[in-house]
Amino acid sequence: MSPTPNKRILLNAFSMNCVSHHQHGLWVREDTRQLEYTQIDPWIELAQILEKGCFDALFLADVVGVYDNYKGGPETSIIEGMQVPANDPSMLVSAMAHATENIGFAYTSSVYQAHPFTFARQMSTLDHLTKGRIAWNIVTSYLRNAGFNYGLGGLPEHNKRYDLADEYLEVTYKLWEGSWEDDAVLADRKRGIYADPAKIHKINHVGKHFDVAGPHLSEPSPQRTPLLFQAGSSTRGRSFAAKHAECIFILESKEMLQGPGNVIEDIRNQARLLGRNPDDILFFQGITPVVGSTESEAKAKEAEYIEQFSEEGALAHFSGSMGIDMEAGDLDQPLDSMDPKYMRGFVQSMIKSSSDQKKTFRDLFRTRLAGQFLTGAPEQIADALQKWQQLGVDGFNLVYSVTPGSFSDFIDGVVPILQQKGLVQSEYSPGPLREKIFGTPRLTNRHVASEYRK
Amino acid sequence: MSPTPNKRILLNAFSMNCVSHHQHGLWVREDTRQLEYTQIDPWIELAQILEKGCFDALFLADVVGVYDNYKGGPETSIIEGMQVPANDPSMLVSAMAHATENIGFAYTSSVYQAHPFTFARQMSTLDHLTKGRIAWNIVTSYLRNAGFNYGLGGLPEHNKRYDLADEYLEVTYKLWEGSWEDDAVLADRKRGIYADPAKIHKINHVGKHFDVAGPHLSEPSPQRTPLLFQAGSSTRGRSFAAKHAECIFILESKEMLQGPGNVIEDIRNQARLLGRNPDDILFFQGITPVVGSTESEAKAKEAEYIEQFSEEGALAHFSGSMGIDMEAGDLDQPLDSMDPKYMRGFVQSMIKSSSDQKKTFRDLFRTRLAGQFLTGAPEQIADALQKWQQLGVDGFNLVYSVTPGSFSDFIDGVVPILQQKGLVQSEYSPGPLREKIFGTPRLTNRHVASEYRK
């Protein structure tokens, strides 16, 4: 493990273009803007609040199907607004980017939802429009309904999804890194030459899943390849992450992070074997802060949230992530009886690293619910984050209970303390998102994408 | 034909997220913002100018490949910035929408570039974000390089592209019109019910090209189906347009519009046979206005443009539209020797309606260049547009020579005259784009999409 005690903690807000993202049941409150998710204004307000708080990025989750295995159907998800409806996150970016200057925008796109030629152009366009503030959260989908929406006859098997993702990344790297040379664009008004054809290349990719001729339709953008996020906690997901990811979203317990072969240590080791530096990859732990001006105020707030929390919504959510119907009698089965076919990586990881394989799904679910909130006065939250940092975590994806309230409470209360301690930035450094985080706007030569450069 | 003398003239600005859209060679001028196409600001400025001028919509063209058949390759296109690079137009919309209130945004998306499940959600998201101001220009692609970018081994044959487009539309209609009933969303805070599962339906589309389960991931947006634009002038394109289109972009000569079987008469007749009203379809003629405060000032401006105009750029452009290399000896072949495989609809239409089939490509090209500008003092332009209207045209797609200058010249000079004559709107009517244009926010029961409603 590579502890990073002197480094700043990175902060992302975790949200989704939908009614109920993670803390289900709370959309009914008057102090949250979740019901306005279809409009532009709440997103602009959120981006501006986060930028005032010097956050690194707004991280937008997404799904391309409904969670439909709890009680054998999507009914609970629909009633709860649980990630359905779910609007396209990419469409929010240009409006938020125009209203801000520094904050990054990371959004989720599955390798099944968009052809890589189309997706690569979408990302390049946004990287230009945001002046280099765009990031991609690479996912391979885990909902079987997503597979049925794309004519796949259900969801392909876990490892096959990652194989396709590997080729998808190869195509996009060729387009982003290899198609237009740095000095291809002349924009020479005197001679009337916009670009030099000798410096723009077809990619002529011929693969198992894709044939793509190119050239890329976008000229080089500030970052070329967007900053790459991933959440790969399964075995295959970890090796994929070690190869591709720059930022990794994890949902681990402290015990899991301290054990041997923990996700951070494992992925950094694998990355080293691929010629990358340990610091080329940063880990973001998911955290749900409940901040009060005093501990008791925070506890009272938490009690309200727990009171309003929808266990039905959580069961529908968890059933989708587990790939099983948690109502259909499996709830009290031991963890090791599980078919990992539809299982999300973090669940696989939780199970793999669990000391007791005879724990049940019900145990796991309860542990997850009980551990979801990080509640306290600002100083307590700051201390807790510092402890996570000492376990090797580089940053946090903050889950809201109410939006933007959970974020502004954190920014008003916790961020100034972390800034005073020198643990989070007090102002943005210049340049594109990757430069703000890694000191360089483009991927280094240690990253696999560099192989595709001309 | 159904002349519409008492109706207002509709106005769209025609542009593209690229350097050189139509009037090639002019990007080198100091009075155009074409070189800033990658940034947000010029697009917001343009949208605000157009809204001040009461324009109906900004219409964004697009391609998903390079024009690569002139002189056997893409070199000329690249040198001229001729629709390459070309960034994704959809990514511009939310920023422009946030800076405006009434103007519509029509953008082009090919049935080959995005899976219909993904595209339908993108459109619904934007229809929400814009409060119903989104329109889709349906295209089937005409560049062979586009086919090679999507693993199609080149471009499918013309009629096959339209067959696929028919199914693509069917899938999207099912998602937009048939998946969520109007009262599916309750957003009931007291009972904690977001939506009613009984009123949200899978579409279970099983077709030749697509299998899509659904349900749609977006709740009903103001227009549900976006306002549908198309540019279908070929035989197959016309029947497709008669079935689907609400607004049709044409590039016709006055002679062609006066002849029997002209595109307006033909499509309206076909639409009538399908149960639609003639007024359910509006025709937008492409026009390139050059406005001066006096005729001589306008002529001087035109002379400058012609002087700077790039014939090479135009030949590369036209070669792509014709599907032939205009340098490789075909320039002096008669029109009827042409293989229509890669030919754009408007070219097919021009040829079909040409009285002399022994005309050559060179003749056609010269006619097109010579006829491209509509030049004069504001009164002259206004008169000319009124004459077009008398030929059955409902509106115009205005092509710029410099941007936003060509549009602001038109808005400052011509629009007030047309407004005084009661020919164009002086303020926007309320509601979504379709309601502003057709008086109703949703497609009527005469449109084929209504068959898919629950």
The pLDDT assigned to B372 comes to 79
Q: What is the mean pLDDT of residues A71-96?
A: 97
pLDDT above 70 covers what percent of chain A? 91
Out of B79, B128, B190, name the one closest to residue A194 (CB).
Answer: B79
Question: Residue B338's pLDDT band (boundaries 50, 70, 90)?
Answer: low
Q: What is the mean pLDDT of residues A79-87?
A: 98
Q: What is the mean pLDDT of residues A9-27?
A: 97
CA distances from B339 to A159, B264, B320, B343 (A): 46, 25, 13, 8
Q: Is pLDDT of B421 > 70?
A: yes
A122-158 burial code (b ≥16 CB/10 A, e <16): bbbbbbbbbbbbbbbbbbbbbbbbbbbbbbeeebbeb
CA distance A175 to A204: 10
Q: Is pLDDT of A259 > 90?
A: no
CA distance B341 to B338: 9
Any idea of the CA torsion for B71, B77, B80, B86, to the nearest 10 degrees?
A: 180
Looking at residue B126, its amino acid is: L
Could you state, in order of their start, the residue ranges of all structural domains in chain B? Answer: 10-295+373-452
The pLDDT assigned to A1 comes to 37
Highest mean predicted confidence (pLDDT) among A331-340, B247-256, B379-388: B379-388
pTM for the whole thing? 0.95
Q: Is pLDDT of B4 > 50?
A: no
Question: Residue A402's pLDDT band (boundaries 50, 70, 90)?
Answer: very high
DSSP B337-367: G--GGG--HHHHHHHHH-S-TT-BHHHHHHH
Chain B residue numbers touching A194 (CB-CB < 8 A): 19-20, 27, 78-81
CA distance B108 to A91: 15
Chain B residue numbers touching A19 (CB-CB < 8 A): 194
Q: Please say whether the beta carbons of B82 and B313 come within 8 A.
A: yes
Q: What is the mean pLDDT of residues B178-194?
A: 98
Q: Contact B38/A129, CB-based, under 8 Å?
A: yes
DSSP A159-222: HHHHHHHHHHHHHHHIIIIISB-TT-EEEETTTTEEE-GGGB----EE-SS-EE----SSPPPS
Residue B39 sits at the chain A interface (C-beta within 8 Å) = yes
The token duo for B20 is 């050189």
Mean pLDDT of all residues belonging to chain A: 92
A65, closest residue in chain B (CA to CA): B217
Q: Is pLDDT of B435 > 80?
A: yes
Model confidence over A273-327: pLDDT tens digits?
999 999 999 999 999 999 999 999 999 999 999 999 998 999 999 888 878 787 7
Chain B residue numbers touching A87 (CB-CB < 8 A): 121, 124-125, 128, 217-218
Model confidence over A415-433: pLDDT tens digits?
999 999 999 999 999 999 9
Distance from CA of B410 to the nearest CA of A (A): 26
Say if residue B429 is exposed, middle or buried (CB neighbours under 10 Å; 0-12, 13-18, 19+): exposed
Give the ipTM of the model, two decimals please.
Answer: 0.95
Tell me which residue of A9, A33, A49, A128 sits closest to A423, measured CA to CA.
A9
Distance from CA of B24 to the nearest CA of A (A): 10
Distance from CA of B368 to the nearest CA of A (A): 23
Model confidence over B207-243: pLDDT tens digits?
999 999 999 999 999 999 999 999 977 889 999 999 9
For chains A and B, CB pairs below 8 A equal 216
| A219 phi/psi in degrees, rounded to 5 | -70, 165
CA distance B354 to B357: 6
Q: Tell me the CATH architecture of domain B10-295+373-452.
A: Alpha-Beta Barrel (3.20)
Residue A20 sits at the chain B interface (C-beta within 8 Å) = yes
For residue A411, give every residue at least 6 positions away whose Cβ sits within 8 Å of its Cβ, in sequence order, or none: A49, A50, A52, A53, A55
Distance from CA of A122 to the nearest CA of B (A): 6
Model confidence over B229-280: pLDDT tens digits?
999 778 899 999 999 999 999 988 888 899 888 999 999 999 999 999 999 9
Q: Is pLDDT of B176 > 50?
A: yes
Chain A residue numbers touching B210 (CB-CB < 8 A): 151
Any idea of the CA torsion for B16, B17, B21, B26, to the nearest 10 degrees?
A: 130
Length of chain A counted residue by residue: 454
Q: What is the mean pLDDT of residues A431-448?
A: 98
Out of A66, A99, A197, name the one closest to residue B74 (CB).
Answer: A197
CA distances from B304 to A443, B265, B298, B308 (A): 45, 37, 10, 6
Residue A307 sits at the chain B interface (C-beta within 8 Å) = no
Q: Please say whether the beta carbons of B144 and B155 come within 8 A.
A: yes
pLDDT above 90 covers what percent of chain A? 82
CA distance B397 to B21: 13
- Helix, strand, or coil (residue A412): helix
Q: Please say whether the beta carbons of A250 and A284 come within 8 A.
A: yes
The pLDDT assigned to B2 comes to 39
- Summarize chain A as % helix, strand, coil (round to 5): 45, 15, 40
The pLDDT assigned to A338 comes to 65
Contacts by A324-327, CB closer than 8 A, 24 or more apart: A324/A69, A324/A361, A325/A69, A325/A70, A325/A71, A325/A72, A326/A70, A326/A361, A326/A365, A327/A70, A327/A71, A327/A72
Q: Is pLDDT of B17 > 90?
A: yes
CA distance B137 to B226: 10
